[in-house]
Amino acid sequence: MDYYSIATILIVLSAIFGYINVRFLKLPITIGLMLITIIFTIAVIALAQFDDTLLVSEKAFINSIDFETVLLDIMLSFLLFAGALHTNFEQLRVQRGPILLFATLGVLVSTFLVGIAMFYIINAIGIEVTFINCLLFGALISPTDPIAVLGILKKAGAPKKLETKIVGESLFNDGVGVVVFLTIFAIAAKPNAPLDFSDIATLFGQEVIGGIGLGLLLGWVTYRLMRSIDNYEIEVILTIASVMGGTMLAHKFHLSAPLAMVTAGLMVGNDTIRNSAMSETTEAYVDKFWEMIDVLLNTVLFVMIGMEMLVLTLEGKYIYAGLIAIPVILLCRYISLWPPITLFAKKLDFVPRTNLIMTWGGLRGGISIALALSLSKEMHRELFLVITYIVVVASILGQGLTVEPFIKKLTKTAT
């Protein structure tokens, strides 16, 4: 199937499911679309007991989409730039210490805790897996997904300084998480090769530092160009060029495109730069354009996630491992957040029960599924894909539906 037909079908389905959600369910867009798509997919499977024509067509459609490439190489850059563009830069600057530790130390600690726990759990239920492959799973499931988090937190009513921590962590830790995943992937792909820690450090540094450096350059160039003119059409196009050109450069030079886009978005969205480079008209158009891009890509993404259910190998032991993984991953996240929160609690006056709220508010999403899809057969791709899908669905539907009352209850109890 050609790209135009795939895009058309996804957008038509997104529009229909989005209408149903707004008209009847009135759920946050990410939750509503995933729920409706899963119900639709289950209905197709049930209908296949009498006539499998629609099921065969839907499976063929899903198999024609390279989810990993579409999300990681195309959609993610636009979504992260849009999210960073509307993030409070001043609050982010104040909270930079804990956010930096959440996105680095937190991801690494969670990766190892999840990897160790799942190694013993999966082997205990009768599936033989190696530790390095469990560590790969820990790396792909530990980062929280900014796409899911941003959409739901807007309606959750979290205190601003707490919202900044969760959003800031999510924007940066997926870039770091992807780099950690790629590093472990390189080791797992050559299990008999000797470990060269200098190569690993070089890869990590190149991706992270290079990505942030590229983002700073893109943000500065975009700012200078926008400041020199006053034409909202061209200025909007300049932001698009920054994202698309920057992503291409990041891929060419093996830098982290997610970190580059977050950094560029934060620079362009900074109030100081806005006031000096954009007129009120330009600012309004830039914001509205990227809000629309954010909504459009979010709807398409969560419809795709819901439909991925059709290509899973739903064996009993795989499902059992996925269900056990849900509380294990939440516990590992809680533990991984404890050191940064303890370190900065007095200095920054954290909201009471920040650890609990950030644990429950740290949702997993499409990035984890995309990374799981990139695993090879030797890395137990089908097993970890099922576990990842179960964790993501439980995260979006379970945590996503309850995070608002959860935050309100905890913050009210604390006061």
Question: How does the average pLDDT of the chain come out, rounded?
Answer: 91
What is the pLDDT confidence band of residue 409, given thresholds at 50, 70 and 90? confident
Give the model's confidence band at 145: pLDDT under 50 very low, under 70 low, under 90 confident, else very high: confident
Distances (CA, A) of 304 to 211, 343, 368: 28, 40, 13
Residue 191, Cβ density class (10 Å: 0-12 exposed, 13-18 middle, ≥19 buried): exposed
Residue 415 confidence (pLDDT) above 70? no
Identify the residue with better confidence: 31 or 195. 31
Residue 163 CB contacts under 8 Å (≥ 6 apart), including other chains: 153, 156
Show the DSSP H helices in 21-155 as ranges. Answer: 29-47, 53-63, 67-69, 76-85, 89-94, 96-101, 107-124, 131-141, 146-153
Task: Note the pLDDT of residue 61.
Answer: 94
Rg of the chain on CA atoms, in Å: 21
* pLDDT over threshold 80, residue 2: yes
The CATH number of domain 67-414, selected from 3.40.50.2300, 3.40.720.10, 1.20.1530.20, 1.10.730.10: 1.20.1530.20
pLDDT level of residue 405 (50, 70, 90 thresholds):
confident
Q: Indicate whether 155 pLDDT > 70.
A: no
Highest mean pLDDT among 323-332, 358-367, 400-409: 323-332
What pLDDT does 408 receive?
80
pLDDT at 88 over 60: yes
pTM given for the model: 0.93
**pLDDT number for residue 407:** 83
Does 60 score more than 60 pLDDT? Answer: yes
User: How far lies 349's CA from each of 89, 95, 103, 226, 286, in Å?
Assistant: 19, 11, 20, 38, 34
At residue 86 the predicted structure's pLDDT band, cuts being 50, 70 and 90, is confident
pLDDT digits (tens, 9 = 90+) for 265-320: 999 999 888 889 999 999 999 999 999 999 899 899 999 999 999 989 999 999 99
| Residues sharing a CB contact under 8 Å with residue 381, sequence separation 6 or more, in sequence order | 372, 373, 375
**In this structure, are residues 399 and 359 in contact, taking their beta carbons and an 8 Å threshold?**
no
